[in-house]
Amino acid sequence: MPRAIQIAAFGGPEELQLVDLPVGEPGPGEIRIRHHACGLNFIDIYQRTGLYTGPLPLTLGMEGAGIVEAVGEDVTHLRVGERAAYASNPPGSYSEARVMPAKTVCKLPDDIGFETGAAMMLKGLTAQYLLKKARPVEGLEPGDFVLFHAAAGGVGLIACQWAKALGLQLIGTAGGTAKCALALEHGAAHAIDYAKEDFVARVKEITGGKGVKVVYDSVGKDTWEGSLNCLRPFGLMASFGNASGPVPPFAPGALGPKGSLYVTRQTLFTHIATRESTQAMADDLFGAVLSGSVKIRIDQRYPLTEVAQAHRDLEARKTTGCTILLP
Ligand SMILES: NC(=O)c1ccc[n+]([C@@H]2O[C@H](COP(=O)([O-])OP(=O)(O)OC[C@H]3O[C@@H](n4cnc5c(N)ncnc54)[C@H](OP(=O)(O)O)[C@@H]3O)[C@@H](O)[C@H]2O)c1
């Protein structure tokens, strides 16, 4: 019987348990996939702790790559035996095999390996929509400054490279000298060690006092206020995560005096709600990876059975780039 990692209760990494999980046949609109690798994402931690709740017991994991083993009725874009990868709701990729909705599963190009496929879908599609769809009202032109927090992480290193390819001057924040160096190596125009430096003051200095057009903020609670103070008038606060904790309620009135700012809270799952939108975004990502403008850096690999350690390392800010779990 296929094995999977489940939680029976919300809590710490110790809740992650290896279980035998029967996998049936796909129904209409579904496929069965046998995983070669799955991706680790910070959202897995929110789901484990219960910050984002779901029905229990819950098999975690929202990103994976493998071989399509069976195809349900009405699925026309995938065939048995094909290589595929996905970022998808509901969770369940921490498993040897699973049945899942087919609409967000994409055929993996021949020149992209399973490990890369598993590492890049959720993080790469996120970087795609952030840079290309979550746009400030005044638009983004080559040369414009944007601020991206946690720039040496999984989404971060992809965003650094993609922003550079788009001609943007990405100012990346990261904790520590080594992480800052990594962000610069991957295309960030500037890096700020926000563990030591006042990132608001540094952004003002770098931009000649003007501020940035967009802040991409996945850190949440700890950076929220500072991020708003880095924006130029009509700038966009694109909040997309809570690695340091959720942003507390705020008064919209504060956005006026700071320069008539815009705030949005984005999630990938709105962007990949349909087969068509998922495929269009994935094609863009595959193109960026195949052209070499975005390299998927996998810095950590763990056996699926050691997922608890992977969670501890991600939470403790010990990882850089992407992390995969191997069934
Ligand atoms: N809304 C969406 O559509 C969407 C999709 C994908 C990811 N996300 C979000 O994007 C972020 C990045 O995801 P990822 O999977 O690529 O993770 P990651 O960036 O590889 O890891 C998270 C990073 O956040 C930074 N961080 C800052 N404060 C932290 C704290 N108190 N505890 C732990 N880490 C902290 C750390 O980097 P430093 O040490 O450099 O500070 C850490 O390495 C996460 O917040 C995730 O939830 C959102």
- N residues, the chain: 327
Establish whether residue 180 lines the binding site of ligand 1, counting it when its CB lies within 6 angstroms of any ligand atom: no
Closest C-alpha to ligand 1, atom 27:
219
Closest residue by Cα to residue 171 from 211, 128, 125, 228: 211
Closest C-alpha residue for ligand 1 atom 37: 150
Cis peptide before 90 (omega within 30 of 0): yes
The structure tokens listed for 56 are: 């229990």
List pLDDT tens digits, range 31-81: 999 999 999 999 999 999 999 999 999 999 999 999 999 999 999 999 999
Residue nearest to atom 5 of ligand 1 (CA): 126
CA distance 63 to 278: 14
Q: 89 CB less than 6 Å from ligand 1?
A: no
Atom of ligand 1 at shortest range from CA of 173: 40
Ligand 1 in reach of 88 Cβ (< 6 A): no
Q: Residue 165: which residues within 8 A CB-CB, separation 6 or more? A: 187, 288, 293, 294
Residue 95 carries which DSSP code?
B
Cα of 273 from ligand 1 centre, angstroms: 23
**Does the beta carbon of 49 lie inside 6 Å of ligand 1?**
no
Q: How far is the CA of 319 from the centre of ligand 1 (A)?
A: 10
pLDDT of residue 293: 98
Q: Does the beta carbon of 312 sit less than 6 angstroms from any atom of ligand 1?
A: no
Q: Count of H helices and E strands in the chain?
A: 9, 16
User: What separation, in Å, do the N-terminal and C-terminal C-alpha atoms of the chain show?
Assistant: 13
172 Cβ inside 6 Å of ligand 1: no
Q: So what's the pLDDT on residue 276?
A: 98
What sign does the CA torsion over 186, 191, 195, 199 have? negative
**Cis amide leading into 57 (omega within 30):** yes
Burial of residue 61 (CB within 10 Å: 0-12, 13-18, 19+) is buried
Is the pTM higher than 0.95? The answer reads yes
Nearest-5° Cα angle at 237, 234 to 238: 130
Ligand 1, residue 241: give the atom nearest the CA.
45
Task: Calculate how far, in angstroms, residue 2's C-alpha sits from the geometric centre of ligand 1.
Answer: 30
248 DSSP assignment: P
Q: CA 46 to CA 317: how far, in whole Å?
A: 15
Atom of ligand 1 nearest to the CA of 316: 33
**Cα of 102 from ligand 1 centre, angstroms:** 27
Splitting the chain (327 residues) into consecutive groups of 10 residues, what average pLDDT does each group show?
97 98 97 98 98 96 98 98 97 98 98 98 98 97 98 99 98 98 98 98 98 98 98 98 97 97 98 98 98 98 98 98 98
119 lines ligand 1 (CB under 6 A): no
Pocket test for ligand 1, best of 130, 215, 219 (most atoms within 8 A of CB): 219
Residue 130 CA: nearest ligand 1 atom is: 3
Residue 246: closest CA among 89, 37, 42:
42
The total of other beta-carbon atoms located within 10 Å of residue 260's CB is: 12
Contact 75, 29 (CB under 8 A): yes
